[in-house]
Structure 1
Amino acid sequence: MTGSEASPSFKLAYVPGVTPAKWVRIWNERLPDVPLTLVAVSVAEAFDVLRGGGADAGFVRLPVDRTDLSAIPLYTETTVVVVPKDHVVAAVDQVSTDDLADDIVLHPLDDTLGWERLPGQPAIERPATTEDAVDLVAAGIGVLVVPQSLARLHHRKDLTYRPVTDAPESRVALSWPEEKTTDLVEDFIGIVRGRTVNSTRGRAAAPAPAEPKAKAKRPETGGGARRKPAAGKATGRTPRSGGSGGAKGTKRGKPRRGRS
């Protein structure tokens, strides 16, 4: 896909726990003529989908192989332990990994936390998926430590979760093939980074504002402020007789009669 196709489209992959709805909404507002298709992928297959062209970009979990993929870290998730509601952990606000020492801690094959040493007691076998592990927690087989978004995704009424203060954390990133950084990928990067539609860092810079029109000069006469008449020129007013505007030094009266 290139930015010059006549009928472009955009495919966005996302791993479980990531909710891309807000970014999709902004995309649809800004690029209504470019359909965006969501592609749900597992953590294990996400990078192969990107490399194989199954998606133009995707929300993945770090680490990312930077040999051929670019990535922008977005946020770090809180890690929680999923337990039955009647478990002792449900009575506290948070726990440490030491508090789980006597519990069987399930470790699914699609685990996203990258433990150096799993806390608690190991299970007889590893569940295939996080969803399977949640079912085992509900059955009272053990507990499960996962990113909070996965606990919410697989929420059950008979289960609850609490933060684990010293467990590894999972980081979510936006990733795409480095050699396929198309115009549409740049558009989506701008949306994820919170750029406005008129941002100069976006793919298409906003058009420059039109030059303001020069103000027309006011004519010398009419409509403007009054100018004082030059000395000696008539103002156009007719002086009133006998008033303050009449000629000074002239008095009128009856002629005197001579004495006989």
Structure 2
Amino acid sequence: MLPPGPFRLGAIEGATPGKWIDVWKSRYGQIPLELVPLGIGDQRGAVASASVDAALVRLPIDRTGLHMITLYDEVPVVVCSAGSHLTAAEELTLADLAGEVVITPTHAPIAVTVPGAEPPRFAAPSTVEEAIATAATGVGVVIVPMSLARLHHRKDAAHRPLTDGPHSTVALVWRDDGPTPPLVDAFIGIVRGRTANSSR
């Protein structure tokens, strides 16, 4: 018998928990699941402070005091203005970005060094959304996971896969401060594909 909840699930921007939430609702519809949006800068703190019971986070993250299950990797993409010469290619490499101004938001979702890139001559945007808006003006490019390029899609911007860029890994984390709480364990079962009738 599970406690009444709610189960508070933190989710980093761009994470895709929909299929797991649907399974939760079908199995545990009487127990509310509250989805709590998290930023890169506060993803670990939300779990460590118990603001959320578990969270979908973007790696790397300090794992001290946390359990973790790696869930999936996201392809990196280059976001540029819709009129950029970079849009002529279907895919890009790091070498294609030599000479480009690479914009990095304050809390970048992907850490990447582009050989031969030019540093911006303006302050770093504070969010991915602002970085994409800046890239859309044609003053530079930004490298983000594909989910974030889609989330912040703009008509004046385009994106192309970066074939040799680092992937962004999304993981499920929860506190390592004793036995796993029953609601967290139930959600772990869902992400691991356990059926309603299977046991650990």
Which secondary structure does the structure 2 equivalent of 1:151 belong to? helix
- In structure 2, the residue matched to 1:25 is 22
Maintained 8 Å contact 1:56/1:176: yes
Aligned with 2:138 (options 116, 137, 140): 140
Give me the identity figure in percent. 42
Structure 1 unmatched runs, 5+: 202-260
In structure 2, C-alpha distance between the alignment counterparts of 1:101 and 1:8, rounded to whole Å? 51
CA-based RMSD of the aligned residues comes to 1.5
- In structure 1, the residue matched to 2:197 is 198
Q: Which protein is bigger by CA-based radius of gyration?
A: 1
- In structure 2, the residue matched to 1:182 is 181
Q: Deviations over 1:59-104 (max 9, x none)?
A: 0011232320011001111001001222111111111111111211
Q: Deviations over 1:169-194 (max 9, x none)?
A: 21000001012521111100010111
Partner AA of 1:87 in structure 2: S
- In structure 2, the residue matched to 1:77 is 74
In structure 1, C-alpha distance between the alignment counterparts of 2:89 and 2:111, rounded to whole Å? 26
Deviation at 1:140, TM superposition (A): 1.5
Deviation at 1:156, TM superposition (A): 0.6
Deviation at 1:114, TM superposition (A): 2.0
- TM-score between the two structures when normalised by the length of structure 1: 0.72
1:55 aligns with 2:48: no
In structure 1, C-alpha distance between the alignment counterparts of 2:126 and 2:107, rounded to whole Å? 7
Maintained 8 Å contact 2:5/2:31: yes
Question: Would you tell me which structure has more strand in proportion to its own residues?
Answer: 2
Maintained 8 Å contact 2:68/2:173: yes
Maintained 8 Å contact 1:94/1:165: yes
Length, aligned pairs only: 197
In structure 1, C-alpha distance between the alignment counterparts of 2:172 and 2:129, rounded to whole Å? 24
Which secondary structure does the structure 2 equivalent of 1:14 belong to? strand
Aligned with 2:159 (options 161, 186, 194): 161
Aligned with 2:12 (options 8, 15, 23): 15
Partner AA of 2:10 in structure 1: A
Partner AA of 1:142 in structure 2: G
Which secondary structure does the structure 2 equivalent of 1:44 belong to? helix
- Larger relative contact order (CA 8 Å, sep ≥ 6): 2
In structure 1, C-alpha distance between the alignment counterparts of 2:195 and 2:2, rounded to whole Å? 23
Maintained 8 Å contact 1:64/1:71: no
1:41 aligns with 2:38: yes
Deviation at 1:4, TM superposition (A): 6.4
- TM-score between the two structures when normalised by the length of structure 2: 0.93
1:65 aligns with 2:31: no
1:102 aligns with 2:99: yes
Question: Would you tell me which structure has more helix in proportion to its own residues?
Answer: 2
Aligned with 1:88 (options 78, 85, 109): 85
